[in-house]
Amino acid sequence: MSQASKPAANSRAVIITCAITGGGDTVGKHPAIPVTPEQIAASALEAADAGAAIVHIHVRDPKTGKPSSELELYREVVDRIRSVNDDVIVNLTTGAGARFVPSQDHPHIGGEGTTMASPENRVRHIQALTPEICTLDITTMNFGEFVFINTPSHLRIMGKAVADVGVLPELECFDTGNVRLALRLIEEGVILAPAMFQICLGVPWGAPATTEAMMFMRDMLPEGSFWTGFGIGSAQFPMVAQAVLLGGHVRVGLEDNLYLGPGVQAPSNARLVDKAAAIVRALDREPATPSEARRFLALPRPAAGLASHSTMTAGA
């Protein structure tokens, strides 16, 4: 077993992350998908009450339900969470702005559905709101029917920007080559060690949600790495159990899976967290509290009113 695969020293605690809404085309397919900042924050707070130590946040256009990168939407979600619970760890996405769909007439130009943005624009809400964690997608891949583009040069810019404001990047790796690139960025000093990794499985067309894929990617991680693993769709809960057995932490949520069981839609993010917590306990471990998670990850508590007092505006 690699050092990266071992549980935190002297601890039975497993950190549960809940991915609240995502940016996928799920609005209208499931009644519980939160859309407005109020709904997203309320769902995050419910997930925290159910045992999630980390809540992973995307925002959506309140009118259309489509993914958004609007700073003020992020600000409202963070403020709403912090006004009720200043202990749960907030993890904001930087994934928006990486989608490319070639136009039919001019494939070198983005067509309908393309969201490509500059790396600086993709992290401006991180610089403004300084959450404890933000995602950094270490991948360029076919992501379903579009291309998800994160070039090494863009990742270097984003990695430096989030490091400069003291935010911990969660390195999302969808295949083995992504881990190799993450290791290079660590060697270059763009990412500080020990790093935080997220092993993302089952996304078309990345690594499959299998025991073998999770073990292989886990064993590529450097000594002392903190890692979480998840699978999407019907693989969500089997991968919860697998990650715990392999010494990692877990992620669930409506971003990745809409079902509590076969044919049974999940009524809320909280119910998905409830089930994950039950699996963790069945394996003789305990869901970590936010305070325990902060100790594992060496994260400070958020400054009071930080999001509201930011001077950056939506047009910055």
On average, the pLDDT of the chain sits at 91
CA 226 – CA 194 distance, rounded (Å): 7
The pLDDT tens digits for 98-136 are: 888 989 999 999 888 888 999 999 999 999 999 999 999
Taking 70 as the threshold, does the pLDDT of residue 40 lie above it?
A: yes
Q: What is the pLDDT of residue 303?
A: 64
The answer as to whether 5 is a domain residue is no
The answer as to whether 149 is a domain residue is yes
Q: SS3 helix, strand, coil % of the chain, rounded to 5?
A: 35, 20, 45
Q: What is the pLDDT of residue 97?
A: 87
Structure tokens, 173: 């790796």
Interhelix angle 152-164/176-187, rounded to 10 degrees, is 50
Cα-only R_g, the chain: 18
* pLDDT band with cut points at 50, 70 and 90 for residue 29: confident
CA 72 – CA 85 distance, rounded (Å): 20
Strand order from edge to edge, sheet including 141-143: 99-100, 146-148, 141-143
Strand 196-201 to strand 226-231: parallel, antiparallel, or no bridges (unpaired)?
Answer: parallel
Query: Residue 180, SS3?
Result: helix
The pLDDT tens digits for 224-273 are: 789 999 999 999 999 999 999 999 999 999 999 999 999 999 999 999 99
Q: Provide the percentage of residues in the chain whose pLDDT is more than 70.
A: 92
The answer as to whether 307 is a domain residue is no
Please compute the mean of the pLDDT values over residues 152-157 and round it to a whole number. 97
CA 117 – CA 264 distance, rounded (Å): 37
Residue 288 CB coordination number (10 Å)? 24
User: DSSP H helical segments within 18-122, as ranges?
Assistant: 37-50, 71-84, 119-122
The answer as to whether 305 is a domain residue is no
CATH of the domain at 173: 3.20.20.70
Taking 50 as the threshold, does the pLDDT of residue 307 lie above it?
A: no
Please compute the mean of the pLDDT values over residues 5-31 and round it to a whole number. 80
Q: What is the pLDDT of residue 138?
A: 96
CA 91 – CA 95 distance, rounded (Å): 12
The answer as to whether 147 is a domain residue is yes
Taking 60 as the threshold, does the pLDDT of residue 304 lie above it?
A: no
Structure tokens, 242: 């697998």
The alpha carbon of residue 209 and the mean position of all alpha carbons in its chain are separated, in whole angstroms, by 17
Integer angstrom CA distances of residue 222 from 4, 23, 191, 196, 225: 6, 30, 13, 10, 6
CA 72 – CA 70 distance, rounded (Å): 6
- Largest Cα separation within the chain, whole Å, is 59
State the total domains in the chain: 1
Integer angstrom CA distances of residue 243 from 170, 199, 239: 16, 9, 6
The answer as to whether 248 is a domain residue is yes
- pTM here is 0.92
The answer as to whether 8 is a domain residue is no
Range of the domain at 291: 13-297
The answer as to whether 314 is a domain residue is no
